């Protein structure tokens, strides 16, 4: 349950049942304000001050609280931010003595920029172990299960989005590289102003490594359809192939047929280095079928 109101409604329709509650620890992290999901400026979770009300509703409807969880936000790279949230949730857990699980949430980040550092999982693990060991000294249910949700960390760096340059033009002082991509296949830039590294898939001779400032755009009929803005990249020409890096987590999963665009195919490179088609490219028939069935 995400609120006092939801918890009470659940009690009314499932008196005597088991339930879990999401708390807001008051600590939020994330790469953009739209993905910070805790703290005092988000809609998520039950704030700590409402713990007495939670207890009252549990008693009134004979509900058994079996778990609590939190989610602080998406894409943290400083392990200390996560540990602060872990400590807060464990403090909340002390108010409920027979929990079956405590879920610390996710948001584990990967570096999207070359200059960003990598999340130190070793220090994170040591810090969590210390906090959990201290918690279990006084907690009644020693069999409580602790959960984390690594999320994008597992797959983000596994994916590349490939696109073809079909237009090179200059409008006023900006040079635009038009591609057959768009925010229908990668929505993070238009939603969060997020950053993805761009690579030119091409052998460049030592004597031909010129760079220039360009803006990479898609072919959706909206000015916000920008994949990379004001980047210093190798000179690109019509027909070149580009790769958008770290597209494994929120690439295809957030893609759509917006603007009647067709989704691309998905190719998997297996452990033997062999490529396999795992999802076919959309064709017009697929689009029509989705709209009329």
DSSP-assigned states of every residue in 129-198? HHHHHHHHHH-S-TT-EEEEE-GGGGTGGG--EEEEEEEEEEETTEEEEEES--TTT--HHHHH-----E
> How far is residue 137's CA from residue 125's CA, in Å, rounded to a whole number?
19
pLDDT value at position 290? 64
**Contact 187/227 with Cβ under 8 angstroms?**
no
Q: What is residue 202's predicted lDDT score, i.e. its pLDDT? A: 83
The Cα angle at residue 178 between residues 177 and 182, in degrees rounded to 5: 125
Strand segments, DSSP code E, in the chain are 18-24, 46-47, 64-69, 101-106, 145-149, 161-171, 174-179, 198-200, 211-217, 226-234, 241-244, 266-269, 275-279
Helix (H, G, I), strand (E, B) or coil at 53: helix
Strand partners, 232: 213
Residue 119: count of CB within 10 angstroms of its CB: 20
Question: pLDDT digits over 38-69, tens only?
Answer: 888 889 999 999 999 999 999 999 999 999 99
Please report, in tens digits, the pLDDT of each residue of the chain (293 residues total). 999 999 999 999 999 999 999 999 888 888 888 888 888 888 999 999 999 999 999 999 999 999 999 999 888 999 999 999 999 999 999 999 999 999 999 999 999 999 999 999 999 999 999 999 999 999 999 999 999 999 889 999 999 999 999 999 999 999 999 999 999 999 999 998 899 999 999 876 655 789 999 999 999 999 999 999 999 999 999 999 999 999 998 899 899 999 989 999 999 999 899 999 999 999 988 888 766 66
The pTM assigned to this predicted structure is 0.88
Is residue 204 within 8 Å of 242, Cβ to Cβ?
no
Residues with active-site annotation? 221
Q: What residues does 129 pair with on adjacent strands?
A: none
């Amino acid at each position: 349950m995400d609120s006092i109101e939801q918890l009470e409604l659940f009690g009314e329709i499932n008196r005597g049942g088991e339930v879990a509650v999401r708390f807001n620890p008051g600590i939020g992290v994330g790469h953009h304000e739209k993905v910070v999901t805790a703290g005092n400026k988000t809609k998520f979770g039950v704030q700590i001050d409402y713990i007495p009300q939670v207890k009252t509703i549990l008693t009134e409807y004979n509900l058994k609280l079996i778990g609590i969880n939190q989610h602080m936000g998406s894409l943290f790279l400083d392990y200390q931010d996560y540990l602060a949230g872990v400590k807060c949730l464990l403090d909340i857990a002390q108010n409920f003595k027979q929990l079956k699980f405590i879920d610390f949430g996710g948001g584990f980040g990967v570096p999207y920029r070359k200059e960003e550092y990598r999340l130190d999982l070793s220090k994170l693990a040591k810090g969590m172990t210390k906090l959990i060991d201290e918690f279990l000294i006084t907690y009644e249910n020693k069999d409580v299960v602790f959960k984390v949700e690594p999320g994008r960390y597992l797959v983000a760096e596994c994916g590349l989005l490939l696109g073809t340059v079909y237009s090179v033009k200059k409008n006023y002082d900006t040079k635009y590289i038009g591609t057959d991509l768009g925010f229908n296949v990668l929505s993070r830039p238009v939603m969060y102003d997020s950053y993805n590294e761009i690579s030119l898939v091409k052998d460049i001779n030592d004597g031909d490594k010129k760079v220039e400032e360009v803006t990479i755009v898609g072919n959706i009929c909206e000015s916000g359809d920008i994949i990379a803005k004001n980047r210093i990249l190798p000179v690109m020409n019509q027909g070149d192939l580009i790769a958008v890096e770290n597209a494994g987590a929120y690439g295809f999963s957030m893609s759509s047929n917006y603007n009647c665009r067709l989704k691309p195919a998905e190719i998997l490179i297996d452990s033997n280095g062999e490529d396999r088609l795992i999802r076919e490219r959309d064709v017009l028939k697929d689009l029509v079928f989705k709209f009329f069935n």
